[in-house]
Amino acid sequence: MNHSSNANPLFRSFQLGGMTLASRIVMAPMTRQFSPEGVPGENVARYYRARAENAVGLIVTEGTIVEHADASNQANVPHFYGAAALQGWAHVVREVHEAGGRIMPQIWHMGARGDVNGYSEAEIAEIVQAFADAAAAARRLGFDGIELHGAHGYLIDQFLWERTNSRTDRYGGDRAARTRFAVEVVEACRAAVGPDFPIMLRLSQWKGVDFEARLAETPEQWAEIVNPLVEAGVDVFHCSTRRYWQPEFADADAELNLAGWTKKLTGKPVVTVGSVGLDGDVSRFFREGQGAANTGVDEIVKRLEREEFDLVAVGRALLADPAWARKLRDGRTTEWEPFAREALQTLR
């Protein structure tokens, strides 16, 4: 039996700035650590091309590291600096474009120190410049835009979160003041790429160290975060939740998830994500090593048609099955391959 009665809305085109996406399905960024010494090889190009060939409208790469000493503590996470790594990414772009796909690198600083209180203002300026340099490189290599990773407890998010930002200078303070670092990163990237190159920002409430963490308890508080980022130059928000169907704010609209609220508050296009096509959320995988069974997409389609969000990011389901989107489009969902821990070890 098919899992979906009508997935057609997921395969309508979408205009993002001057770029047309062939479907509403986005490949979510997923760290795999298959780039020895930070250099993506032919296997990485094959991996992304396989999704582009199978009806994914936009690929967001795994997190790629900016040039700063604390940006990563994982040797095989790909870099987005240095001649060898950038040459590898140029090949990835060519392969994806040849397959008819669109692709953005996710630009990342892991914030390996755990909080932001020890960074001097001079060092912050260096990190901001590192993001801008990566953004400029993305445009130079032919990528279709960039995503800045501002979620899950990594560096940009650490500045946003009061538990990891107790600074008393201009980078700390109340909720709006804590956006300053993110704003400076976005502004620097915008200056580096020009006005017509899409900048997407990934945000979340939950953190890798605390699945129940919250930056905002109300839509009004969330607006204090997202509105300065719009002014800085964000074109589209990628709103990471663990379960896309759950309402974000208890005392507000019972329907809207984080992406829905972000679209309502900013008027900007948004991407939703969170266990799309699977019956278990990502925390089960990280805490227990659990896989997940495939489920239907009727609920996500219904919300898409209501225009709660514009694009739908699919993570683990696409990791397990490169042809997940094409099978959905063609009504072959009984052929979906289930997500299991082993999917992280493949080069498919």
Retrieve residue 294's tokens: 């495939």
Q: Can 154 be counted among the known catalytic residues?
A: yes
Ordered by start, the domain boundaries in the chain are: 8-345
The continuous run of DSSP H or E covering 137 comes out as: helix 121-141
Average pLDDT, the chain: 89
pTM tops 0.85, yes or no: yes
CA distances from 288 to 12, 208, 269, 280, 291 (A): 36, 14, 34, 11, 9
The continuous run of DSSP H or E covering 327 comes out as: helix 324-329
pLDDT at position 129 = 98
**Tens-digit pLDDT profile for residues 154-201:** 999 999 999 999 999 999 999 999 999 999 999 999 999 999 999 999
pLDDT at position 339 = 67
Residue 230: HSE in the Cβ half-sphere, 13 Å Cα cutoff = 16
User: Which has the higher per-residue pLDDT, 276 or 78?
Assistant: 78
**Tens-digit pLDDT profile for residues 21-37:** 999 999 999 878 778 78
CA distances from 67 to 64, 189, 343 (A): 10, 14, 29
Domain 8-345 is classified in which CATH homologous superfamily?
A: Aldolase class I (3.20.20.70)
Q: Which of 47, 81, 119, 154 is catalytic?
A: 154
pLDDT at position 220 = 96
Top-ranked range on mean pLDDT: pick from 131-145, 252-266, 326-340 = 131-145
The continuous run of DSSP H or E covering 319 comes out as: helix 316-320
Burial 132-146 (b: 16+ CB within 10 A, else e): bbbbbbbbebebbbb
What amino acid occupies position 290? Answer: Q
